[in-house]
Homo-oligomer: A and B are copies of this chain.
Amino acid sequence: MLRVAVAGASGYMGAEALRLLCVHPKLQLVAVTSERLAGQRLDKVFPHLRGLSTLVFSELDPARISDEADLVFLALPHMESQRAVPVLRKHGRKVIDLSADYRLRDGALYATWYKAGHIDAAGLGEAVYGMPELYRKAISGASLVANPGCYAMGAILATAPLLKSGLGRVEGIVIDGKSGVTGAGAQGRTIDPMYLYAEANENVQAYAIGTHRHTPEMEQELSALAGKPVVVGFTPHLVPLNRGILTTASVPLAKSAGTADLLALYREFYAGEPFVRVLPEGERPTTRCVTGSNFCDVTVVSDPRTGRAVCVSTLDNLGKGGSANGVQNLNIMMGWDERTGLEAPPVYP
């Protein structure tokens, strides 16, 4: 059995990785790390996993973890991943990085958006962007996979067919993301009052207007698809739910196309994908229908009044927008059926 470790598992993203990995039939979860929780039992920190694991948190020692595990999920804050990755790779370990550190291929772009230079140029050069729908083959041979940001995953899956086909124009794209609260930082670190129940409940707000760090990810991938530079205006929003992102993207069309035509394009683009569901015309994606799963539901509607397509996708930010997608990447890297360990249907309602 594959031995797998999760580093930085104190936050919600790490918790979701643990939840999926502890019952994955083809691997053994061998170690979990957290500086803050070192020494504590995993099932005391995450009592939903009581009875499912007897692991104890340890501090992160990349060298030691390389002895214990064949593959490591990193759920570390950005800047910390790029310190651990070189050590793990030196020891020949495969890495699935859930942080932002290896998503942008251009180190200069990283420096611009993350306000700090990247210290692992070699890793950056070899990392594969972990979106199976675009890079399945590269992922299968990769030793370092950069799992996409949750908003980026939603935005790219919502619009990729339009940009790839040339039907979508590269200017004037406006993307609006609405995310549940677990997208927003770990349980145990300094807590922004914005995430308190009484503050987030019965409340909606926009934040990071024009400055969210998933924006350059979207532009990188959509530009690659379009074959020319794409600029997007992206506004993220915090909405009162635990899990889920709904993305609404307005894309100007290069030529007139009806909704049925657009949906046909989407169905062709995503044909065979096990986790992208293009909905029948007239059905609406909801976050509810993907919660707890690796599915992304997508639709597109033509608006002839504005000459735009309105693209909508939903995913679970901890699922297809995070750890479940990481498990899909793991399955691809290992040559397993991509659905392995991801069979549990979405939890509705």
Contact = CB atoms under 8 A, between A and B. Distances in A.
Contact of A196 (B195, B250, B345): B195
Given A285-B205, A310-B235, A50 B291 contact: no
A46 B277 CA distance: 14
Contacts of A200: 197
A249 B186 CA distance: 31
A340 to B, nearest CB: 12
A171 to B, nearest CB: 9
A303 B240 CA distance: 26
Interface string A139-176: 00000000000000000000000000000000010101
A196 B197 contact: yes
A207 B284 contact: yes
In which size bucket is the chain A interface? Answer: 35 or more
Given A48-B290, A176-B248, A242-B202, A310 B349 contact: no
Contacts of A291: 48, 202, 347
Interface string A57-77: 000000000000000000000
Interface in A257-304: 274, 277, 279-280, 283-293, 295, 297, 301-303
A209 interface: yes
A15 interface: yes
Nearest to A196: B195
Contact of A19 (B19, B178, B210, B348): B348
Nearest to A312: B206
A187 to B, nearest CB: 6
A124 B192 CA distance: 38
B231 A305 contact: yes
A112 to B, nearest CB: 11
Nearest to A241: B202
B23 A344 contact: yes
Contacts of A345: 19, 22-23, 48-49, 52
Q: Which 8 A-B pairs have the closest CB atoms?
A: A210-B303, A344-B344, A203-B288, A197-B200, A48-B348, A48-B346, A48-B289, A233-B306
Given A182-B198, A239-B240, 12 more contacts: A48-B289, A48-B345, A172-B252, A180-B198, A187-B193, A195-B198, A202-B243, A203-B288, A233-B303, A243-B349, A291-B347, A292-B292
